[in-house]
Each structure stands twice: as C-alpha cells, then as structure tokens.
Amino acid sequence: MIRNLLPVALALALSLLAARAMAVLPDEILDDPTLEARARALSAEVRCLVCQNESIDSSHAELARELRLLIRERLVAGDDEDEIKAFLVSRYGEFVLLKPPFEAATAVLWFGPFAFLLIGLAVMVIYFRRQSRDFAEQASGGLSHEENERLGRLLDPAGDERPEDEERKGPSS
Amino acid sequence: MKRRLFFFLPVLVFAIVVGLFLWGLQPDRDPREVPTVMIDKMPPDFDYGPVPGLSLPGFSSADIGQGEPVLVNFFASWCLPCRVEHPVLSALADAEEIPLYGVSHRDKPEDAADWLAQLGNPYDRIGRDSGRGAVDWGVYGLPETFLLDGSGRIRYHHRGPLGEKKVQEELVPLIQTLRQ
Amino acid sequence: MIAELGHFSLIMALLAAVVQGSLPFVGAACRRNDWMLTAAPAALLQLLFVAGAFAALTYGYVTSDFSILNVAENSHSAKPLLYKFSGVWGNHEGSMLLWVLILALFGSAVALFGGNLPLSLKARVLAVQAWIAIGFLSFSLITSNPFARLVPAPLDGRDLNPLLQDPGLAFHPPMLYMGYVGFSMAFSFAVAALIEGRVDAAWARWVRPWTLAAWIFLTAGISLGSWWAYYELGWGGWWFWDPVENVSFMPWLLGTALLHSAIVVEKRDALKVWTILLAILTFSLSLIGTFIVRSGTLTSVHAFASDPERGLYILMLLAIAIGGSLMLFAWRAPSLTPGGLFAPISREGGLVLNNMLLAVACGTVFLGTLGPLLLEAFGHKVSVGLPYFNRTFVPVAAPLVFLTAFGPFLSWKRADLPGVLGRLKIAFALGVVASLAAVYLSQGGPVLAALGIGIAAWLFTASLLEWAERVKLFRATPRETWRRIMGLPRAAHGMTLAHSGLAVAVAGMIGASAWSSELVTVARPGERLDLGGYSYLYQGDEAAEGPNYRIERGRFTVERDGRQVAVLAPEKRLYPVQNMPTTEAAIHTTGLADLYVVIGDADGKGGRTVRIFYKPLVPWIWFGTAIMVLGGLVSLSDRRYRIGAPQRRSAAGREAGLADRKPAAAAAET
C-alpha cells in the first residue's frame, strides 16, 4: 500500500515534518530525482515574497517560479544548499528564509523554546520539592524538622513554657 | 515577599507585549515590506538585450560605472503603479539630466512599445528581462528604482512607485551629492 | 428600516450590558440580593438584543439589501443562499457581531443553567462577562458598525471572496468563535473567584463544563479550518503555522491545560493559583488573537482588512481586560489557600507535567508568532515559517503525546510507577511493532516518522488498555463488563475517546508529513498515470456552469488491480464578479489514505497539467479530531456536571475556607 514512494522521502529526512505543498510545474522538475528532492526541500524553506506567508514551493506566483528555477539551475551546476541560500539572502535579506538563521540576533527565537522547557522543568521540580517537604511535614504531625527539635527542647522537664502554642496544627495545608 | 513578586510576572510580560503591539501599529510601518539589502552593493554582471520594436539600445553592465550616477528602473506595461510613477520619473530624469535606464520585466515587446508610445518614453536605454534579472537585483515587485553612483554601486533602492515627496526629499539631494 | 432596527437593537444590547455589569457587581459587594438577581435577566436581555441585531444583518444579506454598506461590500445577488447567509460573518464587521452574539450566548447559558451557583458568584461572573461585552459592543458600534448605509445603493454588491464560498469554510468561524469566545466564561469565573477571594473544588466543578464546551467547539473549529485548507487550497497542505492559525491554536493548547488542571482543583483542591492564571491567560490569548487578526500587525493569508485605528481600539480593550485581570491576579492570588498534597509520581503529578508541557508548547508557538515582530522592532527582519515550528514545536509535542499514555493509569495522591509500567507492557510492544512496520512499509522513509507512529500506536493502545482494565474486558463475564461500562462515569469514557482520538490524529499528521507521494505532469486525454498502486486514466475535460461561476472539469477514472475504485472530477472555477479563479481538488478517501487530484492550466497543445497525490493516513487527522470532539461531548454529558453538587469538606477545611471570605458573604450564599 505505502509503496512506490519516490525518493522524495530521502529529502524528508532532512526536514522532519515538511508539509508537501506543491506548485511546481512539470517543466520545472529535474530529471535527477535526488537533485529534485533537494530542490523541493530547499524550496520549502524559501519564502515567497509576493505572497502572504507561503513558500516558493507552494506558491503559484511568477517570482516563486523564477526562484524555483534558479534553485534547480544552481543545484545542477553543483552549488550546495548553503551557497544557494547565501545568494538569496544577499539579494533579498534574511527575510527570504522561512527558517531564521542561527545568529546572535535570532538566538532568542532558537533558544527561547528550549529555555521555556528548562524553566518549566525547574519550576516543576521546585514545586514538587516544596510539596514533598510539606508532605513529610504533614506525615510527622504537621511540624517541620526545626519545629520538632524546638518541641523536643521545650518538652524538657526543666522548662516552664507551655508547648501548646507550638503543638497546634494549622488547617490541613 | 519574594513570592509575591512572582505573581507580578504575568502582568510584566503582558506589558511588554502591549508595548510591542503599539510599536507594530504605527502608521508608516508596512508589515509586508521587505527592506532592501542592496545598498552599497554592486549589481551582478548583466546583459539585457534591447526590446524588439523599440529604437533604444539594450542595457548591460558596461553601461554603468562610467563615472556618473544613473537611475535604473524596473517596469512593465501590466504594472499599474508604474503608470502612476511614470510622470514623476520622467520629470526627475529631465530635471536632473540623469541617465535613466529601464528594465522591461516580463513584458511582451508590443505591449511595452504601446505603453511607451502612449505615455512617452523617458528612458535612454531599455533592457529586456524575462524574469531572472529581477532576482539578480533583489527586486520582487514592480516598479522598483535604483540610483547607482559613478562607480556602479547601488546607493538607493526604492520599492514601489516613486512619489514626488520621496523624489524631492531623498533622491534629488542624493544625486547632487553623488555628482560631487 | 430593518437595518436601523438592528442598529438600535445593538445599542440596547450595550445598555443591557451596562446594567448587567454594574448592578450585580455592586450588589455582590454590598450583599444586596435584589441587585444580584438582576444579572440573569440582564444577560438574557442582552442576548435578545444582540440576536436581534444579528438577525437584522442576516436579513439584509439574505434579501441582498445593497443599501447597507456591509452587504454591498461583501455580497452579491447571484450568490447561493447558503453563502449569502454565511457571508454575514465573512467580513470584519459581521464577524464582530457574531463574536458578541456568542459572548451573550454563553452569558445567558450561565444565567439559565447556572442554578446551582451561589448567587454572589453568579452575579460576579455575569458582571465580568458584561464588562467584556461592553468593550466589544462599543467597539462594534463606534468603529465597525455593520449597519452603516450606502447612499446611493449600488445595483449589485462586490461579492464574497470565492474562496469563502464553501460549506466547510462557511461554518468554520462560528465554531471557532464558540470556542475561543467560549473561554470567556472560564475567564469570568476566574476573575469572579479572585474578587471573591476563594477558589475551591466547587468552583472548579462549576467552571469545568463551560471550559469543556468551549474546548469542544475550538477543537472542531480548528479541525474544520484545517480540513478546508486541505481540500480547497489545492496541494494537500493542512497546517501552515500562519499567524492566524497559531492564534487559534494557542488558546487550544492552554485550554487543554486548563481542562486538566481544573480536575486537580476539583478532586484535590490543589493547583488553584495556576488554574486561575490559566483561565485568565486562555481567554487573553483569544483576545490577543482578535487583535492580531484585525489590526494588520502581522502578515497573514487570513487576515481581515487591516486597520490600525481599529487595532488601537482593540489594543486598548486588551490592555484593560488582560492587564486588569492580571493585576487582580497579582494582588489577590497569593492569598488563596494552598490545597492537597501529592507525591510527584501520581495522577496530580502527571497532570502537572501535562500542564507544563502544554504551556511550553504554547510559549513556543507564541514566540514563533510574535518573535519576528520583536526582532523587527530592533531592526532585524526575519521570517519564521513551517521549518522553524517543526524544529521547535515537535520536540515538545512528541514527549507530551508519549506521556499522555501514563496519565489514566496513575492513581491519585501517590502512584506505583513500576506497577504502571508493568501494565503498559502490551502498549509498548505494540508501539515497537508499529514503528517497525512503518519502517518496513515506507521503505527507508524518515526514521523520526516511524518513531512518531510508534508513539501514536503506544498512546492508542494504552488508552484502550486502561479502559479495558476498568471494565474488566475479557476478564469477567460479558454481563459484568457491560455493567461496568454502564457504571463508569461518562467522563471516563470521554477521556479514553479523547486520548485515543489524539493518537489517531497524530498518526494522520505523521502520514501526511512524511509519506505522501506526488506526481505532476502534463497529461493528454487517454493517458494513464500511476501512483501509489493506483492507476489514473485521464479522460479529458468538459466545460460547465455553476450558480455564480464557470467550470473547467477534468475526469479521471481510478483503478486498482484492474477494479475501478473511483471517478474523480477536479475543477478549475472562475468567479466572474471578482474575476477570481479557484481550484477544487477531487479527493477519494479509502479510509486509510486519500487519493487527491488537481488539474492545472492547459498547455494549449491538448495537454493539461495534472497533479496527483497519494496521501496515506491523512484522513485520520480528521477522524482523530472528530473522535476527540466526541470524547468531549461524552464527557460533557456526565451527570456530575449538570448537578454540580459542591464537594463536602471537613469542618476544619470549611473553617479554613471561611477565613478568607467576608463573614457576611457566607450568609448571603444560597
């Protein structure tokens, strides 16, 4: 059933979940399937500048077609993906790439999600630590470790202070 | 007390977001505009052949960098803003006596000829571009206009039709500066 | 005349909202029952008036009254009736009217069905709801009046964008609005609770049904929109991480978190502060979404006509509503009593983890959507699209899907992890089998996709396993099992459905992204094309006429192993009024895959560009979300929600709860 898969699947290993959008016309498709797959993958990362939020792979605009052809020509000529992207950026700026480059300025975009995850984990761990301390406290009669020690000292027969104040538990917390 | 401060974090973040939105709303911001990266760059080598039917020569790399500033304008007959820009552009080329080279982008020669016959032809040269030329110059829409200095370097790149205000405030002074 | 009546009705609605927002609120503070009792009638009156205004606008559309500016700009006499009707909300002003209608609808629902709510809480909830309504009703009346007249009236209108003249898209906005406007209810409950100074299990029980209802609609609305994009836009894409899509997805993520954390508040009286914050933030994201869509701040395929002036007004509303509620939170939340304790490995712990991951996922989408704007403000114009979200969202979502399997198995307060792991052995085995099968069947496709399928299979099996355990499937007599099934609370069935539906949808998403194949070529009539084991015979084109468009239709007979499977007729349409072409893909679903055919332009030499796609598992995306919606509906029908009896608390607990309420308020409570 899921057979006859074109080597398009090869290119997909590069980008995990690329939506297979398509405006490529028959006369654009390269004969070499591997190169064509690379062209498709690269096109999916290039923004169509005359559209609103589409890649050149899925746009029917003339400019999109022009850029698709350009990418294929360059791949056939032996350029690699980074060189082609560099060329496009030199003409149109970083905005033309749908995956922002990895630089100081865009660090917040790339590290942000990871930072959120770390913060989330940290908050969770702190919350559970506090929980388990309160849990143990509850188990030992509602007193913390320090309070238990104080109680011990207060119960010393030599002392006159009434321990009831320390003994009273708060409402179940 | 420190715990209480954490509760103010959401409001703080929200305040920043509102600030960002306020900035985003300012009237002269166009979210769709792609800022140019061509300033101070040399255009790549090019050779646009003449448009058949027009008595004007074509336009190639040899025509720029000849010691004086030139204007380069991408246009087409099917582009409405180009029509709007035409008188402004023509007046500018006349008044400043600056060479105006046109690039007829993705246009049928007959249509281009008709259009120029109708509106007048301010260009000294017109090259024909079937599409790739625009990419080489970082052009994505029409019309777009470049001002090159004497050495052929791009010093000004305007996307969209040229308005009188922009011409007077930005282009004319720059042309005069470049001439010194 | 009807339009003027509608306009008047809208003004009356604003007045009703003003009453609803003032008397009950003051009444709750002063403990005046009679003032608090005005809340419900005011809410109903507000609904009546907004509905009247909406009806008036609809009348204008349906009768093609082009003297109304809004109708003239967005409708046309030749449009089919269905789209005249749905055109009401296919534009900014009309959709704003729909927005306030749904707001009023939810308010009225609480007024009518919130009988078991204590009077002061109900009064405050409806008051807060009214404040939101005042904001948006005044926005509508002042900046986006749908009833403005156009004089002289044109002979015909400018027509609705042909892309919107589609049944799927006609009903996508109402569903979506029921969803994210519906979260206003949770918001109102949260703000009311903060004002009251008390959040407890009873509050959670009252909030949950409304949150669930909103969630159900939002899931359905997003799913409908995605399905529409899939069959309408002509290349089988179903999610583009467009800002407007993200803006509906974020409330969904937080809304899901809210649904789950509210459970902990109800069952264990814990996570109160977090849940209140979530309730506020979920609706805040809806409001921010409304702003982004209508202000033109971000580029998007979907955005309505952008208008910075309207944007400023909405931003002001946002600042007041969200800023105000978050300030209230900062001030009042610290004094909420902390609740029950639990070990990290427990159902509560699992729900905390669930919430954390959902919040991080939401934060990631938020960053990706607004990050470019932030960078632009500092001079860097970058763009963020699908490739970015794949890299950042998927790594958070995948563990979440994986961990969902554990949740139902964990017991409250303290769970036995080794025991749980033991019970999940079968699910794990099946997950591995599914992964291996995927690797084999896709013949060297991406490894991550196979892993993803394994996770989906794991979740699906685990969800069913838990259900099977609870009803003792195959371990007791069928009669006993049946008895257990009937005895299980509906929410339990709902949970199983929702979680397994998620697994199915995820499997579909992986299939769509990783394993589809395509063929694009120029075909001549009589030519046969093969893809995915199916054979497509192109039989040529024909021209035809639709109600308000012209058609070029291709005909394909699809066969497999010599037997005819389907006849597909993709179309290219031209809508003359706006001179706009659209493509209508022809799709045949085998249940396990979609066969998808689109025709392009003719090449002038007798051939035509044809695109054929083979999309395995794609229909599961929508089967899966439909199952999730079903799960939600089943949960909603649980009797416990409708009775809403507050949980009994120990005497000490009641005392503690009373400690932070005004003493007389307790007396005013029914």
Count Cα atoms within 13 angstroms, Cβ side, for C641: 21
- Predicted confidence at residue C302, as pLDDT, reads 65
Local structure of residue B41 (DSSP, 8 states)? P
Quick one: pLDDT band at residue C576, thresholds 50, 70, 90? confident
- Predicted confidence at residue A30, as pLDDT, reads 87
Side chain identity at residue C583, one-letter code = T
Give the structural domain span for C525. 517-616
A172 touches chain C (CB under 8 A): yes
What mean pLDDT comes out for the span B65-83? 92
Residues C499 and C548 in one domain: no
- Minimal CA separation from C582 to chain A, in Å: 12
User: How many folded domains does chain C comprise?
Assistant: 4
Residues C329 and C447 in one domain: no
Which range among B131-135, C171-175, C186-190 has the greatest average pLDDT?
Answer: C186-190
B interface with A, Cβ–Cβ < 8 A, is 32, 34-38, 41, 106, 131-132, 134-138, 140-141
Residues C152 and C14 in one domain: yes
Residues C556 and C507 in one domain: no
Residues C416 and C372 in one domain: no
> Domain for residue C627, yes or no?
no
Domain boundary among C475, C496, C515: C515
Instruction: Indicate which of C376, C378, C380, C382 best probes the interface with B, i.e. most B CBs within 10 Å of its own CB.
Output: C376
Q: Is it the case that residue C661 has pLDDT exceeding 70?
A: no
CA distances from C450 to B171, C434, C620 (A): 59, 8, 16
- Predicted confidence at residue C155, as pLDDT, reads 83
Quick one: pLDDT band at residue C306, thresholds 50, 70, 90? low
Q: Is it the case that residue A169 has pLDDT exceeding 50?
A: no
- Predicted confidence at residue A173, as pLDDT, reads 34
Quick one: pLDDT band at residue C392, thresholds 50, 70, 90? very high
Residues C139 and C11 in one domain: yes
Give long-range contacts, CB 8 A cutoff, 24+ apart: A26-31: A26/C520, A26/C521, A26/C522, A26/C609, A28/A65, A28/A68, A28/A69, A28/A72, A29/C520, A30/A72, A30/A75, A30/A76
Predicted confidence (pLDDT) per residue in C405-452, tens digit: 999 999 998 899 999 999 999 999 999 999 999 988 877 678 889 999
What mean pLDDT comes out for the span A144-150? 69
Q: Is it the case that residue B66 has pLDDT exceeding 50?
A: yes
Quick one: pLDDT band at residue C154, thresholds 50, 70, 90? confident
Q: Is it the case that residue C179 has pLDDT exceeding 60?
A: yes
Facing residue for B31 by CB, picked from C298, C322, C370: C298
- Rounded CA-CA distance C305/A37 in Å is 38
> Domain for residue C665, yes or no?
no
> Domain for residue C633, yes or no?
no
Q: Is it the case that residue B102 has pLDDT exceeding 50?
A: yes
Mark yes or no for CB contact B135/A93 under 8 Å: no
What mean pLDDT comes out for the span C558-563? 89
Q: Is it the case that residue C665 has pLDDT exceeding 80?
A: no
What mean pLDDT comes out for the span B28-40? 85
- Minimal CA separation from A115 to chain B, in Å: 16
- Predicted confidence at residue C656, as pLDDT, reads 42
Quick one: pLDDT band at residue A16, thresholds 50, 70, 90? very low
- Rounded CA-CA distance C98/C90 in Å is 10
Task: Pick the residue from chain C with its C-alpha nearest to A135.
Answer: C341
Provide, as residue numbers in chain A, all residues whose Cβ is less than 8 Å from the Cβ of B134: 63, 66
Mark yes or no for CB contact B34/A62 under 8 Å: no
Facing residue for C341 by CB, picked from A44, A134, A171: A134
Q: Is it the case that residue C642 has pLDDT exceeding 70?
A: no
Q: How many CB atoms lie within 10 A of CB B35?
A: 15
Chain B: partners with 3+ C-beta pairs within 8 Å: A, C
The whole-chain average pLDDT of chain B stands at: 90
> Domain for residue C632, yes or no?
no
> Domain for residue C659, yes or no?
no
Contacts of residue C34, defined as CB under 8 A and 6 or more positions apart, other chains included, come to: C27
A residues 64-123 near C, CB within 8 Å?
93-101, 105-106, 108-110, 112-113, 116-117, 120-121, 123
Q: Is it the case that residue A109 has pLDDT exceeding 50?
A: yes
At residue C57, the 3 state secondary structure works out as helix
Per the model's pLDDT, the better-predicted residue between C661 and C136 turns out to be C136
Tell which residue, C152, C24, C146, has the closest CA to residue C75: C146
Count Cα atoms within 13 angstroms, Cβ side, for B45: 0
> Domain for residue C75, yes or no?
yes
Ramachandran category for residue A47: left, alpha or beta (phi over 0 → left; psi -120 to 50 → alpha): beta
- Predicted confidence at residue A129, as pLDDT, reads 87
ipTM of predicted assembly, 2 dp = 0.86
- Minimal CA separation from A84 to chain C, in Å: 17
Provide, as residue numbers in chain B, all residues whose Cβ is less than 8 Å from the Cβ of C373: 20, 24
Residues C73 and C141 in one domain: yes
| Percent of residues, chain C, with pLDDT higher than 70 | 94
SS (H, E, C) C74-88: HCCCCCCHHHHHHHH
- Predicted confidence at residue A8, as pLDDT, reads 34
Residues C449 and C372 in one domain: no
Q: Is it the case that residue A13 has pLDDT exceeding 70?
A: no
CA distances from B123 to B72, B139, C89 (A): 9, 19, 49
Facing residue for A49 by CB, picked from B132, B136, B140: B140
Domain boundary among C100, C132, C165: C165
The whole-chain average pLDDT of chain C stands at: 88
Chain A: partners with 3+ C-beta pairs within 8 Å: B, C
Predicted confidence (pLDDT) per residue in A36-78, tens digit: 989 999 999 999 988 877 889 888 888 999 999 999 999 999 9
Provide, as residue numbers in chain A, all residues whose Cβ is less than 8 Å from the Cβ of C367: 108-109, 112-113, 116
What mean pLDDT comes out for the span A151-170? 54
Residues C150 and C252 in one domain: no
Task: Pick the residue from chain B with its C-alpha nearest to A89.
Answer: B37
A138 touches chain C (CB under 8 A): yes
| Percent of residues, chain A, with pLDDT higher than 90 | 34
Q: How many CB atoms lie within 10 A of CB C213?
A: 21
Residues C521 and C509 in one domain: no
Q: Is it the case that residue C398 has pLDDT exceeding 90?
A: yes
Predicted confidence (pLDDT) per residue in C60-69, tens digit: 999 988 889 8
Contacts of residue B22, defined as CB under 8 A and 6 or more positions apart, other chains included, come to: C315
Q: Is it the case that residue A82 has pLDDT exceeding 90?
A: yes
Q: Is it the case that residue C644 has pLDDT exceeding 70?
A: no
Contacts of residue C293, defined as CB under 8 A and 6 or more positions apart, other chains included, come to: C244, C247, C300, C302, C303, C304
Chain C: partners with 3+ C-beta pairs within 8 Å: A, B
Residues C243 and C129 in one domain: no
Predicted confidence (pLDDT) per residue in C507-533, tens digit: 999 998 888 888 888 899 999 999 988
Q: Any idea which fold B36-179 has?
A: Glutaredoxin (3.40.30)
Q: Is it the case that residue C122 has pLDDT exceeding 90?
A: yes
Per the model's pLDDT, the better-predicted residue between C462 and C546 turns out to be C462
Quick one: pLDDT band at residue A141, thresholds 50, 70, 90? low
Local structure of residue C306 (DSSP, 8 states)? P
> Domain for residue C650, yes or no?
no
Quick one: pLDDT band at residue C301, thresholds 50, 70, 90? low
Task: Pick the residue from chain B with its C-alpha nearest to A94.
Answer: B37
Mark yes or no for CB contact A93/B34 under 8 Å: yes
What mean pLDDT comes out for the span B25-51? 87
> Domain for residue C364, yes or no?
yes
Instruction: Indicate which of B30, B135, B137 best probes the interface with A, i.e. most A CBs within 10 Å of its own CB.
Output: B135
Which range among B169-173, C154-158, C182-186 has the greatest average pLDDT?
Answer: C182-186
Sheet holding C586-589, edge to edge: C517-523, C608-616, C593-602, C586-589
- Rounded CA-CA distance C388/C397 in Å is 14
Local structure of residue B163 (DSSP, 8 states)? P
- What tokens were used for A98? 């749908």
Q: Is it the case that residue A168 has pLDDT exceeding 80?
A: no
- Predicted confidence at residue C79, as pLDDT, reads 84
